[in-house]
Amino acid sequence: MSEGFNELRWNPLLGCWVIVSSRRAVRPWRAVEKCPFCPGAEETGYGWDVIVLDNKYPALKRDARKSREGVDFYRVEEAYGAAKVVVETPEHTGDLDTVPFSNLVKYVELLASLTEEECRDSRIEYVLPFRNKGEVIGVSLTHPHSQVYVLPFVPPRVKREYEMMRQHRAERGGCLICDILELERKEGARLVYENRAFTAFLPFFAMWPYEVHVYPRRHIESLTGLEPEEKALLADALKVVTAAYNALFGFSLPYMMVFHQKPCRGYEGFHMHVEFYPVHRSADKLKYPAGIEWGGWVFTYDALPEEKAEELRRAAVKAVENLKRSGYKPRGEVSSGQAGE
């Protein structure tokens, strides 16, 4: 039986690649009888705390085959790369806030070493770790896990961010992310949580109601540039942010979490960061990207970001209490929301 096709098709209208894989449609949808990530499953075995697996139905692979040749500017390439899964805990339920802290540190270390290893392959341009949580986001397996896409091109969004960083540097002489941090910290109103190395805040320019960005205050280009202590402090920030999300409405909040880092080659001066996009706008309403968002790439924000940040700070205060009760002592402080901290 055919192993299927994994190809990139060029979208000439938007100037971006679409990853086409012909066997992805058969991947299991939630109701598999046995969790493939629980200890003792065929793929996982026993005796691990955090584990990296190959995606069983990868969108990209190193032996990718294309179904056809391109024609004229309808370009077709092999979807060369990889899709990995990182299972953060043997526990079947939970989120980053309930995963043991030592696992989380290991998780960050694993993402960094995956980035380094995969970038050694000269055909790989980008390593994109992300985490989708919740049924509304279409997560087919509920066991806590992240994914890592190993791509033969730089994602357009990262290119755009870099282009804006480059422009900012040309006009202002500084790093855009460092300067955003400065503005956010000066104003204070949208800060959520801060430890010695990382600041978590709802950006002035948020597109999703409860969007949160986590930036290292030191100018670090990628996960591979984090010092051991910074990896632990990133783990701490991720733990507190997810705990705040889960304390916000009293249920486990679905979100997408994405790591933006420097591509494998070039892009000097990129400043790494993490972005969270939860899809809720209230306890019972979703912010569905619809006509204006998808059709125009124009986002509407139905509140003031400063109000939403205040809600998140209140949730973070509750979250920190919960974490302390469960035996975890956060490394930083929930922001007061005041200027000039």
Q: Does position 262 bind Fe ion by CB under 5 A?
A: no
**Residue 9 or residue 260: which is nearer to Fe ion going by CB?**
260
Q: Does position 37 bind Zn ion by CB under 5 A?
A: yes
Whose structure tokens read 């060029």? Answer: 10
Q: Does position 139 bind Zn ion by CB under 5 A?
A: no
**Residue 139 or residue 207: which is nearer to Fe ion going by CB?**
207
- Beta carbon of residue 317, minimum distance to Fe ion (angstroms, whole number): 27
> Cα(84)–Cα(139) distance, rounded to whole angstroms?
15
State the DSSP H helix or E strand holding residue 177, giving kind and residue range, or none if neither.
helix 176-187
**Residue 185 or residue 260: which is nearer to Fe ion going by CB?**
260
Of all residues in the shown chain, the one whose CB is closest to Fe ion is 260
Stretch of 11-19, 79-87, 171-179, 256-264 lying at the interface with Fe ion (CB under 5 A)? 256-264
Furthest C-alpha separation in the chain: 64
Active site residues: 145
- Beta carbon of residue 161, minimum distance to Fe ion (angstroms, whole number): 5
Tokens of 78: 């092999």
Indicate which of Fe ion, Zn ion, none lies near residue 260 (CB less than 5 to 8 Å, by partner kind).
Fe ion
> Cα(233)–Cα(178) distance, rounded to whole angstroms?
18
Q: Does position 141 bind Zn ion by CB under 5 A?
A: no
Stretch of 37-45, 120-128, 190-198, 315-323 lying at the interface with Zn ion (CB under 5 A)? 37-45
Helices (H) and strands (E) in the chain — how many of each?
Answer: 6, 15
Stretch of 30-38, 131-139, 196-204, 255-263 lying at the interface with Zn ion (CB under 5 A)? 30-38
> Cα(310)–Cα(333) distance, rounded to whole angstroms?
15
- Residues touching Zn ion, count (CB under 5 A): 10
Of residues 260, 262, 280, 331, which one binds Fe ion by CB under 5 A? 260
DSSP letter, residue 85: E
Asked if residues 141 and 37 have their Cβ atoms less than 8 Å apart, the reply is yes
Tokens of 85: 């899964």
Asked if residues 255 and 278 have their Cβ atoms less than 8 Å apart, the reply is yes
Q: Does position 219 bind Zn ion by CB under 5 A?
A: yes
CA 3 to chain centroid, in Å, comes to 29
Whose structure tokens read 């998808």? Answer: 294
Asked if residues 323 and 181 have their Cβ atoms less than 8 Å apart, the reply is no
Stretch 251-290: interaction string toward Zn ion, x if CB under 5 A: --------------------x-------------------
Per CB under 5 A, residues contacting Fe ion are 260
Per CB under 5 A, residues contacting Zn ion are 35, 37-38, 92, 143, 175, 177-178, 219, 271
